[in-house]
Amino acid sequence: MATWILNGLVWNETTGETELKHIRIAEGVIAQIEDAAAGRPDTNGHDTIDANGKLVSAGFIDMHVHLREPGFEYKEDIASGTRSAAAGGFTTIACMPNTRPVTDTAETVRYILDKAASAGIVNVLPYAAITKNELGRELTDFAALKEAGAVGFTDDGVGVQNAQMMKDAMKLAASMNMPVIAHCEDDSLVVGAAVTEGKFAAANGLKGIPNESEAIHVGRDILLAEATGVHYHVCHVSTEQSVRLIRHAKQFGINVTAEVCPHHLILSDEDIPGMDANWKMNPPLRTPRDVQAVIEGLQDGTLDIIVTDHAPHSAEEKAKGMLLAPFGITGFETAFPLLYTRFVRTGRWTLGFLLQRMTSDPARVFGLQSGVLNVGAPADLTIVDLENEREVKPETFASKGKNTPFGGWKLFGWPTATIVNGSLVWSEQ
């Protein structure tokens, strides 16, 4: 059955303004967009959703998430993770392979896709590991993984330490027109550290994770990408040095793209209130100088897209404290409200800029058909209340993970409904 979304506020990239529209969905695609000023369309025989002046956007795309299944279902599973994604307005997500077993075989890729089809409510794109068991010793079977449905190769969670191994991976991926997505971290510089090398570490007598631990791999991999011609994508950029290297690479025409997370755009190590592991993530919160650098990098296009790095953990794990708890915070359900409140409502960004970095830009970078609100495009849509202020309450998250540093923050821009392939998969209760 076809559906009309009535009275939705749609961003017009040409005029830089929002306009009230009626949108008809049929057979999983956007079939018609009309000016609301022309009056209410004939909706006989159609379902209707009245947006009542709320924003209607192409569904958000998150190309870096952890669904934890298989192996860590107590942290998250595909059902809870995709529901959390939908609650955050995301209609397409790409899940990382650091599961148990590691997503390093065609069978595991197919398991994820089958489980997403049966239990998930948003589009799930699985990444496969670069190396077997993510140990950095032997390449996986790239051809079989691609055939099974993997959309790229990454050892996210650990950096590939051996440069020859990474070069071989890039050569092979390039021959298949597949991207390599890199978690950039030199292990020799990070052992025993939980936070960045900055004021918080110094004040608390902690070993710090230095910026160069990330940037060394970024620089190495840029040179390898230049040599192999692969599409090289840098995960969760957090340092000024990394931004500088990526900017330089793009100026030379190297095929590199990059992502940044909301928490690295908003928080620095100087915001950490104490030894609370809800503030522990990898990469860690960096210095205010780095925060400014990644903001500028996103604004000038050095960093292409926004991702959440949604990384749920159990309360028991996070209760172990800053030194012993696992790295990671949840991200789906706070991402858009955080960025809308911090950057759009303050006038630093336009609404269109934020939407672009969360919709059409990730689609462009990874060759997806979604991410646009045009006639003929997939009917993956998000409805957002830009005017409602609400407090972040982790206990209400759809995710199993409640681990966030943003509890108690008051934010605007909350999703109220999410539509995937033309079907309403989530709506605010």
**C-alpha to C-alpha distance for 350 and 353, rounded to whole angstroms:** 5
Structure tokens at 409: 């923050």
Contact 66, 313 (CB under 8 A): no
**C-alpha to C-alpha distance for 57 and 380, rounded to whole angstroms:** 9
67 is in an annotated binding site: yes
183 is in an annotated binding site: yes
Cα dist from 40 to 20, 33, 216, whole Å: 12, 12, 58
Non-local CB neighbours of 411 within 8 Å, separated by 6+ positions:
334, 337, 338, 340, 341, 389, 390, 391, 392
**C-alpha to C-alpha distance for 254 and 232, rounded to whole angstroms:** 9
**C-alpha to C-alpha distance for 334 and 336, rounded to whole angstroms:** 6
Taken in order 68, 242, 190, 201, is the CA torsion positive or negative? negative
**C-alpha to C-alpha distance for 222 and 157, rounded to whole angstroms:** 19
Q: If you compute the radius of gyration of the chain from its CA atoms, what whole number of angstroms results? A: 21
162 is in an annotated binding site: no
**C-alpha to C-alpha distance for 234 and 52, rounded to whole angstroms:** 39
Beta-sheet strands, E only, within 253-380: 256-260, 305-306
Contact 63, 49 (CB under 8 A): no
* 182 membership: H or E segment, kind and range: strand 180-182
282 is in an annotated binding site: yes
Nearest to 285 by CA among 238, 245, 326: 238
Structure tokens at 264: 């690295």
Active site residues: 309
263 is in an annotated binding site: no
Q: Could you tell me how far CA 262 lies from the centroid of its own chain?
A: 9
DSSP conformation class of 130: S
**C-alpha to C-alpha distance for 357 and 298, rounded to whole angstroms:** 9
264 is in an annotated binding site: no
Q: What is the 3-state secondary structure (H, E, C) of 66-95?
A: CCCCCCCCCCCCHHHHHHHHHHCCEEEEEE
Contact 366, 43 (CB under 8 A): no
* 338 membership: H or E segment, kind and range: helix 335-339
Non-local CB neighbours of 39 within 8 Å, separated by 6+ positions:
none
Nearest to 305 by CA among 254, 256, 350, 245: 256
Q: Which residues are annotated as a binding site for Zn(2+)?
A: 64, 66, 156, 183, 236, 309
Residue stretches of the annotated binding site for substrate: 66-68, 98, 282, 313, 327-328
